[in-house]
Every structure is written in C-alpha cells, then in structure tokens.
Amino acid sequence: MLDLIDITKSFRTGPAETVVLNDLSLHVGEREFCSIMGGSGSGKSTLMNIIGLLDRPTRGQYRIAGEDVLAAPPDKQSSLRNRLIGFVFQSFFLLPRLNAWRNAALPLMYRGMPEAEAKRKACAMLERVGLADRMEHMPAMLSGGQKQRVAIARALVGQPKVLLADEPTGALDPKVAQEIMDLFLEVNRELGVLVLIITHDPHIAAQCPRQLRLGAGRIAQDLRVAA
C-alpha cells in the first residue's frame, strides 16, 4: 500500500546541510498497524509529513497503492490527502467554532458533498467512535478523549486508505489513552484501514503488530509481533 524508496530529506540551515532522512525505504502493506518510535530529532515527524503529503522529500520515490503521488501538483495533492489519508494530531486540532458533526464532516464538505449527505455520514462515523450523544456539542464542551474521538471520526469519514496519527495519546491520561488505542485497533480490524501511529509511549507501541524504530534517518528496527 505504502511504498517509500530511498527517501532522503535534508534541510539547509546556514552553511551546513542537515540530513534528516537518509535513503529511507519502507513498505507497509494493506490493513497493517504500525507504530513508529524514535528519539527526538530522529525524523519521525518529517517522515510522517512526507507520508501525509504535507512535505516533499529531497530525493526518492513514494507511491500510495501504486500511484506516484510526488508527481502530483499541489492542488492534486490536496485532493489526494482528502481521499487517501486521515490525520489525527496530538492536540486534536478541532475547529473551535464548528460543532462535533460539522468538524467530522469537514473532509466531505471539501469534496463538494451536499451538506445533508455529509451530515449523515459524519453522524454515522461519530456513532461508530462512540459519540452518538455528542453530535451538536462544540469542541469546548468535550473532554480530551471525546475530542480525540471526534478527530478520529473526522479522519475516517472520507474512508481513507491510511490513518496517520501523530502522538494521538500524548495529551491524554493513561486510561483514556488506552481507550483511544483500543479504538484504533478496532477501526483497523473492522474498516481495514492502514494505521501508522507515532508514539513515545512504549506501552502503546507494544500493542502494535508491527513496531518500527527510526535512527540516524533510517528504519533502525522493524519488529513484527504475531497477533
């Protein structure tokens, strides 16, 4: 599903060139559930941005489901992001002036879907993540765990192929974090969406069937755990 081949990303800061990712290659298959760990500065976030089509590598090739996504012009990349990828962030990033279902429906609105249909789908997805009774709530009235559920509903509402989660449990207490992790495992199992989770938490990483560790700009460790 995800094919990264010889991905190099370097930043020019003054005279020196900092290489963040160095000829990194990675293949992630359909329906896989991976965690990505690594110390700060190991390039986790850069890798996530490249996979999420928010950033371009300096060199290398990247295909999603066989499609060369780096060749696409910027507005085509927006539509690729919209169709193929769902994002979940550490601090939720819900739009504060939209209620739960409007937040969840946003990706569909950007596809130009009529509001009634988008609302129906967003509500179905909110129900699926366990927020059937919170459709009209504003983000400020929701708890951290509930906000993250809205964010997950928003990420999944467009039926993406890939769910990218950047420290999704970092802002939550352990009990709620585990609930969110269970939700990720469940949607992976039931919807068949590929899940990539960046995390610092070994306890979260240990529950993933495939565990990647970044070091020196490459995949330093690729561990598969039998389910």
Partner 1 sequence: MIKQAILEAIGNLLASRQRSLLALIGIMVGAGAVIAMLTVGAIAREETARQFRAMGTDILLIRADSDQGLGNLPLAETEALPAQIRGLSLVAPFMLGGGQISAEGQSRSTSFLGVTESFAPVARVRLAAGRFISRHDRFEPFAVVGSALAEQLSTPFNRIRVGSNIRVGRYVFTVIGVLEPSLPSPMMPADVNDSLMVSIPNGRRIMSTPQLAWGVARAAPDADPDQVARAIGTALEPSMREGRVQVQSARALLAGLASQMRLFTLLLGAVGAIALVLGGVGVMNIMLVSVQERRREIGVRLAIGATRWNIQSLFLTEAAVLSLAGGAFGVLLGLAGAWGFAQMSGWAFVVSATAIPLGAGVSIATGLFFGFYPAVMASRLDPIVALRTE
User: Helix (H, G, I), strand (E, B), or coil: what is residue 113?
Assistant: coil
Structure token pair of residue 29: 């298959």
For partner 1, the binding residue among 8, 10, 49, 58 (CB under 8 A) is 49
When computed from its CA atoms, the radius of gyration of the chain, rounded to whole angstroms, is 18
72 binds partner 1 (CB under 8 A): no
Sole binder of partner 1 in the list 1, 10, 19, 89 (CB under 8 A): 89
Identified binder of partner 1 from the candidate list 43, 158, 168, 217, rule CB under 8 A: 158
Binding test (CB under 8 A) with partner 1, winner from 59, 97, 189, 224:
97
Min dist. Cβ of residue 47 to partner 1 (A): 12
What is the rounded CA–CA span in Å between residue 184 and residue 42? 24
Residue 159 touches partner 1, criterion: CB under 8 A: no
Which member of 17, 23, 30, 55 binds partner 1 (CB under 8 A)? 55
Q: How far is CA 134 from the centre of its chain?
A: 23
* Residues touching partner 1, count (CB under 8 A): 28
DSSP β-ladder status, 162-166 and 194-198: parallel
Which residue matches tokens 């999944």? 156
